[in-house]
Chains A and B, each alone.
Chain A
Amino acid sequence: MQTFDAHPFDPPDGVPTLRREVRDFIAREAPKSDAASRANCWAVCDADFSKAMGKAGYIGMTWPVEYGGHARHPLHRYVVLEELLAAGAPVGMHWIADRQSGPLLLRYGTEEQRRTHLPSIAAGETYVCIGMSEPGAGSDLASIRTQGVRDGDGWRISGQKVWTTNAHNAQLMIALVRTVEGSQRNEGLTQFLIPLDTPGVTVRPIIDLVGGHDFNEVFLDDVHVPDSARVGPEGNGWKQVTAELSLERSGPERYLSSYAALVELIRFAGPDPEPVLAVLIGRLTAELWTLRQMSQSTAAKLAAGEDPALEAAIVKDLGNSFEQELPRAIQAALDGAEDLSAATDLTRVLALLLQVSPSFSLRGGTREILRGIIARGLGLR
C-alpha cells in the first residue's frame, strides 16, 4: 500500500506573475493590522476588502464568465488563496460563498439561481452561510430535524440551526432540511437557499470564549419559500453536502490558520537565533512545508476531476493538529520573561491562538469524525 500518492501541482504558466499581482493587491487593499488580526484570517470579516477582492477578480475565479466568474484554472485560484492566507488578509466575509456555496449552485442550482446570486457573490457583495448543524445534529449530521413541508407552490420550513458562522453578516443561508417526514438518517434531505430577511427567520448571536462573534443560532419559524428556492432535486441533500466536503477540507486554510505566529517567532528569534529557537523554527518549517505539499497534491487531484475524500480528511486532520500545536510549541520555547501578558506582537498572537485554536479541530468535521473517515478508507469499518 502507498498511503499518499502525490499528484503533481502543475498550474498553467504565469504563477510568479499571479503571485506578484496578489501581493501588490494585498499591500494596496488590506487594512494595516497587527499580528493577532492576521491569525485565523479566514474567520476575519471585512466587507470592504471582500468588495475589493471582487473587483480584482479574486472571488469566483474558476466560475464561468457568464455568472460573473473569471474562468481561471482551479490551481491559479489555489495560488491566490494561499497568498491571501499567508499574508493574513481578512477574507472571512466571502470565504464560504466562494469555497462552497458558489460551486454548489454551479453544480446543482437552477439557471435562475445562478444568474441571481453568483454575480453578486463574485463581486464580494453577497455573503452566504451554511445551515447544517442543529442542536441535536453536530458530528451526527444525518440526524437533522429541521422540517420542510410542501405548501402549494412552495415550502414551509421550521426548525433551528446552530453554530452558523457569519449568519449575522450573510444575506443568504443554504440550509439542509428534512423534506420527507419521518425519513431515516440521510434519506429525504433537501437543500434550500433561504434569504435571511424572509419573515420567520431570526438570527441570534453566540459569543465565543474570547468575546468574538462568528457563530449564530438561526431560528426558522414557519418560513415560506417558493419551490425555486430548492437547490437540487428533492431528497438529494445528503449527496450534495458530502460533495462539498472535499472542497472544504483540503484547502490551504486547514494548515495556515496559525502561520502568523510562526512569522512573529522568526521576527522574535532574529537572524541568528539561539539553538532552541532555531530547532523549533526548523521543525515548524518542515511540518509546514510537508502540509503544503499534501494540500497542493489534493488540490491538484480535485482539479483533475477526482474526489480525494480520504486525502482531504488526512490533510485537514494533520493540518489542524499542526495549527494547534504551533502556538503551544512556541509558548513552551519562550523563556519566562515573555509571559502572555506582555504587549508584544508575538505574545498577542500566541494568546489569541492558544484560546481560539481548539475550534480548528471542530469546525468542518471534528478530529474524531475525520479519523473515522480515514479508518474507513483503510478498510477498518
Chain B
Amino acid sequence: MSETRTLLTDTADRLFTDLAAHPDAPFAEVWPSIAEAGFESLLLGEDEGGFGGDWGDLFAVARLAGSHALAAPVGEAAVAAWALTRAGLTPAEGLATIAPAVDGCVENGRFTGSLKATPWGGAAQTVVATHAGSLLRLQTTDCRIESGHSPVGEPRDTLTFEGAVAEAAPSDIDLLACGAFLRTAQIAGALDAALAASIAYANERVQFGKPISKFQTVQQTLAIFAIEAAAVNSAGQAAARAADAGVADFEFAAAKLRANIAAGQGAALAHQVHGAIGFTQEHPLHRLTRRLAGWRSEFGSDRFWAQRLGRRVAGLGPDGLWPELARRSDAA
C-alpha cells in the first residue's frame, strides 16, 4: 500500500471509529467532520484543490465506511465532485450526492422529472445525475422532497423537479456504475467487519462446555463466510485497479454482482453465528447486516447487472469471452 493511501486510510479509520461511537447522532452533526477531513475532494487532482486520489483510494475509504457502518454519503459526495469536475460543470455547493435513477427530460436547460431513492437527497444541496449521455447538475432548492429510507433508516429520497434549472454537459460517466462500485466497497468492508465480529463472538460464547468456535460445524460456517468476504474484497480491488487503468464498466458490473451475492449470504451467516443476541436492537451487528440488506438492491440488483453483463458477454460470442477477459486485464 502506498504511503499516501496509508495516511488516508488511517485518517478515515480514526474518524469513522469516532463517528461509529455515536450511531444516532444527527446527520447535521456528523457531516461537518467528514467534510472538514476533505473526503469529498478525494478524487480531485491536487491542482483542483483535491487529494489527488485514485479509485483504489476511494475503494479503501468507502470500504472503511462500510466496515464502520457509517451513516453518511462519503463515497457519493466524492463521486459527485469528481463527475462535476470531469464534465466541466460548476463545482458543488455544500453536500453533493448522486442519483441512481432519473425519470424525466431536459428541455431548454430545464429539468422536469424525478430522481428516485437518492442517498441523502434531502440533505444535499447539489445532486448529480446521468441522463441521456449527459451529466446533470441540479439544486435541491428547486425540488419537492419525498423522504424515503433504506432498511436501516438511511435517507433514500425522491426528488421531484418541475422546469428546474439544470446545468448539463455531455459525458460518458455512468453514475449508476460508480454507485455500484461504492456499494461494492461498502459491502466488502461490512462483510469483513461482520466476519470479525462473528469470529470474536464464536471465540467467547461458551456452550456445551467450550467456545462454539471449537465446533467444526461453526468453523466451516465461518470459513464459508470468509470465502465470500474474500471474493468481494478481491473483486472490488480489481475493479478499482481497472478504473485506474481505463474504462471499467465491465469490472464495476461484475464486482457489484459478486458483492450482491455475497451480501445476502454473509449477512445470513453472521446472524446464524451470533444467535439470538445478534437479533437485538442493543447488539451492533444489525448496523452492518441491515445495511448489507439494502445495499444489495441499490445501484443495480443482481438481475440488473447479470442481465447487462450477460447480454454483453453473449454479444462477444462463445469464443469471445476469454480474449475479452484477458485483454481487459492485460491493459490494466
Contact = CB atoms under 8 A, between A and B. Distances in A.
Tell whether A and B belong to one assembly.
Answer: yes
Interface of A: 1-6, 8-9, 15-16, 19, 82-83, 86-87, 259, 262-264, 266-267, 269-273, 275, 277-283, 285-294, 296-297, 311, 314, 317-318, 368, 370-372, 374-375, 377-381
Given A266-B317, A282-B313, A378-B223, 8 more contacts: A1-B192, A5-B233, A6-B234, A82-B326, A266-B321, A286-B261, A371-B224, A374-B226
B234 A272 contact: no
Contacts of A293: 234-235, 237-238
A269 B21 CA distance: 52
B265 to A, nearest CB: 12
A380 B202 contact: yes
A8 B309 contact: no
B52 to A, nearest CB: 20
Interface in B138-186: none
B230 A289 contact: no
Contacts of A270: 314
Contact of B314 (A264, A266, A288): A266
B310 A277 contact: yes
Given A3-B229, A283-B302, A294 B254 contact: no
Contact of A282 (B214, B229, B241, B310): B310
A82 B254 CA distance: 20
Given A279-B306, A294-B234, A371 B229 contact: no
A286 B329 contact: no
A44 B294 CA distance: 46
Contacts of A296: 329
A287 B231 CA distance: 9
A266 B313 contact: yes
Number of contact residues on B: which range applies?
Answer: 35 or more
Contacts of B203: 379-380
Nearest to B314: A273
Contacts of B192: 1-3
Contacts, number: 181
A374 B223 CA distance: 6
B222 interface: yes
B264 to A, nearest CB: 13
Nearest to A294: B234
A65 to B, nearest CB: 26
A314 B100 CA distance: 34
B76 interface: no
Contact of B226 (A3, A16, A286): A3
Given A266-B318, A271-B314, A286 B257 contact: yes
B205 to A, nearest CB: 12
Interface string B116-134: 0000000000000000000
- Top 8 nearest A-B pairs (CB, nearest first) are A282-B310, A282-B306, A278-B310, A282-B309, A4-B230, A375-B219, A371-B223, A281-B310
A279 B310 contact: yes
Contact of A6 (B219, B226, B233, B305): B233
B322 A287 contact: no
A282 B223 contact: no
B330 A6 contact: no
Contacts of A83: 326
A83 B325 CA distance: 11
B190 to A, nearest CB: 12
Nearest to B211: A380
Interface string B204-233: 000000000110101110111011011101
B253 interface: yes
A297 to B, nearest CB: 6
A221 to B, nearest CB: 38
